Amino acid sequence: TNDIIARAVEVLKENDQGAYTVPTKGLYPFQWNWDSCLTALGLAHYDEARAWTEIETLFAHQWPDGMVPHIVFHVWNDGYFPGPEVWRTGRPTATSGITQPAVAGFAVRRLFDRARDKTLARERASALLPKIDAWHRWFYETRDPKGEGLVAIIHPWESGRDNSIDWDDAFERVPTEGVEPYIRRDTLHADPAHRPTREQYDRYIWLVQHFRGLGWDNARLHDASPFQVVDPGFNAILIRAAADLADLAQALGDTAIAAANRARAEKGLAAMERLWSDAQGQYLCLDRITGKRIDSASVGGILPAFAAIPTARAQALAATVERLAANARYVVPSHDPGDPRFDAKRYWRGPVWLVSQPVTPISRQAIETTENYGGRA
Ligand code: DGY
């Protein structure tokens, strides 16, 4: 174990750029939103002040409307596409124009609870609290315009599960005409057989150009997007973050932020029931444009174990994971190996991702002993 910890610290130090950490050198040379928040949890094990800085750096680039972008392009680097010249969001430091799973509320609460330096934690968490609250408000205002309690993603990259089978059908509606010529960089760093296809990239870029054409005005993007998908994993992360932020606000004496986030979490949890599938024994995505659920058994529908879902749902998810474990070498695969569309090598179409492991139930017992909070185990 000591050896693994020492090596993990080495990796973090190697990727540390001073005030933020790159997910990996080469393929991802900037600051990524959810990667950074999870990285902060690792940093806290050996440098608490640096862990707080990681999240502060991200929030220093929050948009005036409350959105926290998925990439902050701190430095110039031509090893990544699409770079700032494609996004053109007009921010003082270049950023992308879409967001990512809202793990910050969860991460900050955890940093706070585990802090050895309580004075430091109080000071740094207090400053982040209203910013994270503004982000949560932004989600429900702009991505849930009808007030259903569930937010939609408008680009697959927002989910963090870039090329999941979940998006295939909805993605058919995204055109590829008019995509400006481009050269991918990802396939220089990683095996193309693992990465998204050319056709998917055309659609990723079409959406970026489309949103750019609308001036990155979040009051318009949701309704104007041909891709609007309600992802149970994404919602569960937001719900958990809202509940965690409510607890943190309570501890810091901010009752208004506590109440607002408690209400968001409760409404979201109730709305999640719409996504439950008895047939699949898990939650499913909902295509907001067709109003239909998407029949695709991915880890996104198991991730809700991260939120305080009803016990019966958590138990059914545990049974699903056990069924998957019978067919898979490692759990939880990003997609059900029993589905003919499963692809063992292509990122989110089959492989297991470490980032989704701490938050997915590894056994019925894990769920039951943590009262649905798989992530706190
Ligand atoms: C990429 O470029 O592969 C990223 O996942 C987008 O965030």
- List pLDDT tens digits, range 302-348: 999 999 999 999 999 999 999 999 888 888 999 999 999 999 999 99
Summarised one tens digit per residue, pLDDT across range 254-305 is 999 999 999 999 999 999 999 999 999 999 999 999 999 999 999 999 999 9
The CB of 70 under 6 Å from ligand 1? The reply is yes
The CB of 124 under 6 Å from ligand 1? The reply is no
The CB of 266 under 6 Å from ligand 1? The reply is no
CA 84–ligand 1 middle distance (angstroms) = 13
3-state helix, strand, coil in the chain (%, to 5): 50, 5, 40
Measured distance CA(351)–CA(343) in Å, rounded: 8
The CB of 30 under 6 Å from ligand 1? The reply is no
Task: Pick from 28, 35, 86 the residue to mutate for probing ligand 1's pocket: most ligand atoms within 8 Å of its CB.
Answer: 28
- What is the overall mean pLDDT for the chain? 94
Taking CA atoms, 60 is separated from 33, 57, 86, 128, 249, in Å, by 12, 5, 22, 10, 20
The CB of 169 under 6 Å from ligand 1? The reply is no
pLDDT confidence of residue 198: 97
Give me 42's structure tokens.
């690792």
The model's confidence at residue 364, banded by pLDDT at 50, 70 and 90, is very low
Ligand 1 atom with minimal separation from the 162 CA = 5
Mean pLDDT of 98-119: 98
CA 165–ligand 1 middle distance (angstroms) = 16
Bond preceding residue 333 cis, omega within 30 of 0: no
Measured distance CA(249)–CA(12) in Å, rounded: 29
pLDDT confidence of residue 372: 37
pLDDT confidence of residue 374: 34
Is residue 313 within 8 Å of 334, Cβ to Cβ?
no
Residue-range domain boundaries for the chain: 2-376
Summarised one tens digit per residue, pLDDT across range 226-236 is 999 999 999 99
In this structure, the number of other CB atoms found within 10 A of the CB of residue 123 comes to: 11
Q: Is 361 a residue whose pLDDT tops 70?
A: no
Q: What is the ipTM of this complex?
A: 0.94
How open is the CA angle 131-223-96, to the nearest 5 degrees?
Answer: 45
Amino acid, res. 308: A
Q: Which residues are within 8 A (CB) of 7 and not within 5 positions of it... i.e. 6 or more apart?
A: none
pLDDT confidence of residue 377: 27
Summarised one tens digit per residue, pLDDT across range 159-203 is 999 999 999 999 999 999 999 999 999 999 999 999 999 999 999
Q: Is 59 a residue whose pLDDT tops 90?
A: yes
Cα end-to-end span (Å), the chain: 18
CA 376–ligand 1 middle distance (angstroms) = 28
CATH topology classification for 2-376? Glycosyltransferase (1.50.10)
Q: Is 363 a residue whose pLDDT tops 50?
A: no
